[in-house]
Amino acid sequence: MQSVIRGMCVFAFAIASAGARAAGNEIVVGEIVDQSPAWIEAGRDYVAGAKTYFDQVNSEGGINGHKIVHLVKDGGGKPAEVARAAAELLGEGHADVLFGAIGDATMKSLSDAGIAEKQNVVLFAPLTGLPAAQRQTRTMRASYADEAKSLVHHFTNLGLTAFCVVVTPGDEQKASLAAVRQAIAAIGRKPVCEVSLAEIGGDARATAQAVQAARPQAVFLLGDSSVAGGFIREFPFKKLGITVGALSLVNNTALLEIAGPEAARGMVITQVVPSPQKESVPVVREHVRAMRKFRDEPPSQLTLEGFIAAKTMVEALRRGLSAKAVRREDVSATLVALPETDMTRLLNQYASGSGGSGGARLIEVTMMGRDGMLIR
């Protein structure tokens, strides 16, 4: 609960500034978040990481002399509210790009409404595992399908083939549930159970008992950090010899806070960025130092993801924009010209600290250590 309240406070600060108008020749980055329980934790950290990088760039003079204005609006995951938020950001906010749209419902609402094409604006690095549905969308993170495949591959390498899926009801987990079902079916298996877990986690104990009765070898936990934390607090998976895994939108720092270090230890989480504690990687070291300077909070994999997404966008704009007056069409043309393969190469370069390469987007399977550190 403390982490959710903290998340609301951070978003309240960000959203309070969304009515501000850009003064002078600035690059305006609009962002639509989803403050519903399913996305508030992940979104809070992603926004914090991106804002940290924007603050760092502004402290160094901006993008070719253009300062960044970061405006945030809540769409609540509801189509009408997402449309309203987009209209305000692109209208009175004069946003040049819609960055980091938070959540599946936000992304689907923007895609269904055709906002990118109608407004000639790029949707850059949305926080979702859904595939891009518009030409002017540039995604960075791996899809739910790819994460699910990686987790199934990890489990089968350990000799685990009896799977149970624990999922929160409603629309938010439909895409990830479909991805997990498909990944399990690809190895010729079916889940031994699928158990619904209330979004607020109130029935965590009953759910844990139902899963235990099905005698799985591994559990896929599909829900936000609060739900995941509540479940593993009630489910003694280590004592039972059962492996529990979740996809990357579960926040390791929030999970540790909610479940406690002993309950969280040993849980497996896929990652689409390098470990936020691995300071031997240059971008992680840069992120940790920037978080220390501009934010009073610990880094997480999601603050790092927001930081890397912001860095990738800024680097593209730095190369593609001159010092002249910036228009939305200039920003859009620059970002649309950035191929998906280049974004993958940049992400892999940041993750490895070397020259990087193309190919598949980064996915790592990590495990929570006793101190909350993510171990490969």
| Mean of all residue pLDDT scores within the chain | 87
What pLDDT is attached to residue 14? 47
* Mean pLDDT, residues 69-93 taken together: 96
* Mean pLDDT, residues 182-190 taken together: 96
**Res 39 pLDDT > 70:** yes
pLDDT band at 312 (very low <50, low <70, confident <90, very high): very high
Of these ranges, 157-161, 257-261, 357-361, the one predicted with the greatest mean pLDDT is: 157-161
The lowest-confidence range among 49-58, 82-91, 178-187, 348-357 is: 348-357
**Res 138 pLDDT > 70:** yes
Instruction: Express as a percent the part of the chain with pLDDT over 90.
Output: 63
Pairing of strands 97-99, 27-33: parallel
What pLDDT is attached to residue 20? 45
pLDDT band at 18 (very low <50, low <70, confident <90, very high): very low
Distance separating alpha carbons of residues 18 and 16, to the nearest angstrom: 6
Domains with residue ranges and CATH for the chain: 2-141+279-352 (3.40.50.2300), 144-247 (3.40.50.2300)
**Res 29 pLDDT > 80:** yes
**Res 357 pLDDT > 80:** no
pLDDT band at 188 (very low <50, low <70, confident <90, very high): very high
For the stretch 190-231, pLDDT in tens is: 999 999 887 555 678 888 999 999 999 999 999 888 889 999
What pLDDT is attached to residue 330? 93
State which amino acid sits at residue 104: D
Nearest to 309 by CA among 99, 142, 144, 143: 99
Distance separating alpha carbons of residues 307 and 311, to the nearest angstrom: 6
Please tell me the pTM assigned to this model.
0.88
What pLDDT is attached to residue 227? 87
What pLDDT is attached to residue 202? 60
pLDDT band at 13 (very low <50, low <70, confident <90, very high): very low
In sign, the C-alpha dihedral spanning 290, 292, 293, 296 is positive
Distance separating alpha carbons of residues 101 and 123, to the nearest angstrom: 7
Which residues touch 283 (CB under 8 Å, ≥6 apart)? 274, 304, 307, 308, 311, 350, 351, 353
Q: How far is CA 322 from CA 28, 120, 315, 325, in A?
A: 16, 20, 13, 8
* Mean pLDDT, residues 168-172 taken together: 78
